[in-house]
Structure 1
Amino acid sequence: MKTPPRLQPLVEEGLIDEVMRQLMSGKEATVYVVRCGDEIRCAKVYKEANQRSFHQAVAYQEGRRVKNSRQARAMEKGTRFGKKMAEEVWQNAEVDALYRLAAAGVTVPTPYVCFEGVLLMDLVTDAQGNAAPRLNDVEFDHDKALQFHAKLLREVILMLNAGVIHGDLSEYNILVDEQGPVIIDLPQAIDAAGSSVAASMLERDVTNLANFFGTFAPELIGSQYGKEIWNLYEAGTLTPDYPLTGKVPAPTEPVDVDAVINEIEVARLEEEDRIRRQLEQQS
């Protein structure tokens, strides 16, 4: 196919030898299958901020810092330079998270480089070598659903122990290769130690998993794995093989009203994004 303009710089730099086809296009990015020497990889082309539907809310940006004070001030003021820097921080967050998680043993695509707003990484494939399907497109029975749910909880724990929370985990950003689930789409990754809403984000990610797999294994609906995982994390006793129960004691502390309001707003934005992804899948 004809080389898209955004990929031309990577071709000129010798990072890509051939653009083979478009794999998918969403509101945040367009992904192409490319050839790099003898390797088949994918190139994720991030869309400009004004073309994306994902909300770069304070909840996602909190904890992300730039070392240069001039850059930080420009980002706060929203100048043209500041917006450019914010875009770079947004894009580099995914690259940084991928490297960090891969080192921690989390199943994610191997990243190679982020250049001119394009992330070059491994293409996740199924047993036949075709692009791997999303979790949402895979058939499950009761036992397989429980197996995948347990695997993904372990991935969430590995991520959390590496200091990372996905922040938008659902059946739409998990691929399934011949070995099992592969977690993708991490530009909104949250620093577990640097975000005031880390606990609620983690709980929402885990609840999304329970709701999806609960369609096939109803006993997962209403489980409290997210709260349980966070409590163990705070206590310093969380390990990937900890025997989770999905249950936690009822809270006795006063309710933090501001935190509840913030969680409701974040949930509203997530629901808008979930509906948008469903419509994309249907179109």
Structure 2
Amino acid sequence: MKAPPRLQALIDEGLIDSVVRQLMSGKEATVYVVRCGDDTRCAKIYKEATQRSFRQAVDYTENRKVKNTRLQRAMAKGTKFGRQATEAAWQSAEVDALYRLAAAGVRVPEPYNFCDGVLLMELVADAQGDAAPRLNDVVFSPEDARLHHATLLAEVVRMLCAGVVHGDLSEFNVLLAADGPVIIDLPQAVDAAGNNHARRMLLRDVANLADFFGQVAPELLSSRYGEEIWNLYERGELHTGSALTGTFVRPSGPVDLGGVLREVDDARAEEAARLVRMAAR
């Protein structure tokens, strides 16, 4: 097929040889299958902010820093230059997260290059060598649902041990490769220690997995893995081999009214964000 202008630039630079086909177009990017020598890879072209249905919510960008103080001031003021810098930071966040998580052994696509808003990365394939489907396009038996749920919980734990929370994990952001689930779409990933909303986002990520797989394995619907994982993390006891039970008992004691109100506000914000995501899909 004819290469889009932003991919033609990469062909001219010798980073890719040809464009095979468009793979998908989502809320934040369009992904193409490309050829690089003997390899087949993905090229993810990020959409401009005005074209995206997913906004750079303050919850996600909280505590994201750039080293250049001039850039920081411009981003804070929202000038044209600052908006461009914010956009670049948003795009590079996924690249940084991919390299960080791949180094930690998390199942994510291997990144190869990032140039002018285009991310070159591994094409996640199924057993036939075709592009792997998303979880929401696959029908599972109860046994497979439990297996993949356990696998993804282990990946969530591995991510958190690496200091990262996905922030938008669901059946739409996981591919089922020939050798198991692979987590994708990470531009909204947040720093677990530096973002005040990290706990809520992790609980939501884990709840999304339970809700999806719980459609065929109902016992997952009543599990409390998210609270258990975060409690271990806060206590400094979480590690990649942590044995999870899916149960959690909130410690008794004086009620933190301010904390309760914050949780209520977070729940309202999450419901509003959920409705936006549903409308976008």
Scaled to the shorter chain, the TM-score interval is over 0.9
Residue identity in the other structure for 2:76: E
The residue aligned with 1:254 is 256
**Is 1:266 paired with 2:259?**
no
Residue identity in the other structure for 1:14: G
User: 2-side partners of 1:82 and 1:131: how far apart?
Assistant: 37
Task: Quote the sequence identity (%).
Answer: 62
Write out per-residue CA displacement over residues 25-66 of structure 1, whole angstroms, 9 at most, x where no aligned residue.
Answer: 112110000001111001000000011111211110012100
Residue identity in the other structure for 2:184: I
Residue identity in the other structure for 2:256: P
Residue identity in the other structure for 1:73: R
The residue aligned with 2:52 is 52
Residue identity in the other structure for 1:274: M
Residue identity in the other structure for 2:52: R
**Residues 78 and 11 (structure 1), Cα distance of their counterparts in 2 relative to 1, 3 Å cut:** same
User: 1-side partners of 2:233 and 2:275: how far apart?
Assistant: 27
Q: Normalising to structure 1: TM-score of the pair?
A: 0.95
| 3-state SS of 2:243 partner | coil
| 3-state SS of 2:143 partner | helix
The residue aligned with 1:129 is 129
Aligned-pair distance for 1:275?
Answer: 4.1
The residue aligned with 1:26 is 26
The residue aligned with 1:217 is 217
The residue aligned with 1:230 is 230
User: 2-side partners of 1:239 and 1:70: how far apart?
Assistant: 38
Cα contact 1:168–1:270 (8 A) shared by 2: no
- State the Cα RMSD in Å: 1.1
The residue aligned with 1:145 is 145
**Is 1:160 paired with 2:160?**
yes
**Residues 276 and 222 (structure 1), Cα distance of their counterparts in 2 relative to 1, 3 Å cut:** farther
Aligned-pair distance for 1:133?
Answer: 0.4
1:85-100 to 2 correspondence within 5 Å?
85-100=85-100
Aligned-pair distance for 1:271?
Answer: 3.2
**Residues 104 and 142 (structure 1), Cα distance of their counterparts in 2 relative to 1, 3 Å cut:** same
| 3-state SS of 2:222 partner | coil
User: 1-side partners of 2:152 and 2:76: how far apart?
Assistant: 36
| 3-state SS of 1:249 partner | coil
Cα contact 1:55–1:269 (8 A) shared by 2: no
Give ranges in structure 2 of 5+ residues lacking alignment.
Answer: none
1:192-203 to 2 correspondence within 5 Å?
192-203=192-203
Which has the higher mean CA deviation after the structures are superposed, 267-276 or 213-222?
Answer: 267-276
Aligned-pair distance for 1:6?
Answer: 1.5
Cα contact 2:200–2:266 (8 A) shared by 1: no
User: 2-side partners of 1:275 and 1:242: how far apart?
Assistant: 37
Cα contact 2:49–2:55 (8 A) shared by 1: no
User: 2-side partners of 1:14 and 1:263: how far apart?
Assistant: 48
The residue aligned with 1:35 is 35
User: 2-side partners of 1:7 and 1:111: how far apart?
Assistant: 17
Cα contact 1:168–1:188 (8 A) shared by 2: yes
User: 2-side partners of 1:273 and 1:114: how far apart?
Assistant: 26
Q: Normalising to structure 2: TM-score of the pair?
A: 0.96
| 3-state SS of 1:21 partner | strand
The residue aligned with 1:107 is 107
User: 2-side partners of 1:264 and 1:246: how far apart?
Assistant: 25
Aligned-pair distance for 1:7?
Answer: 1.1
The residue aligned with 1:116 is 116
Corresponding residue pairs, total: 277
Cα contact 1:134–1:172 (8 A) shared by 2: yes
User: 1-side partners of 2:266 and 2:213: how far apart?
Assistant: 26
Cα contact 1:9–1:116 (8 A) shared by 2: no
Residue identity in the other structure for 2:267: E
Aligned-pair distance for 1:263?
Answer: 3.5
| 3-state SS of 1:221 partner | helix
The residue aligned with 1:242 is 242
User: 1-side partners of 2:57 and 2:222: how far apart?
Assistant: 27
The residue aligned with 1:69 is 69
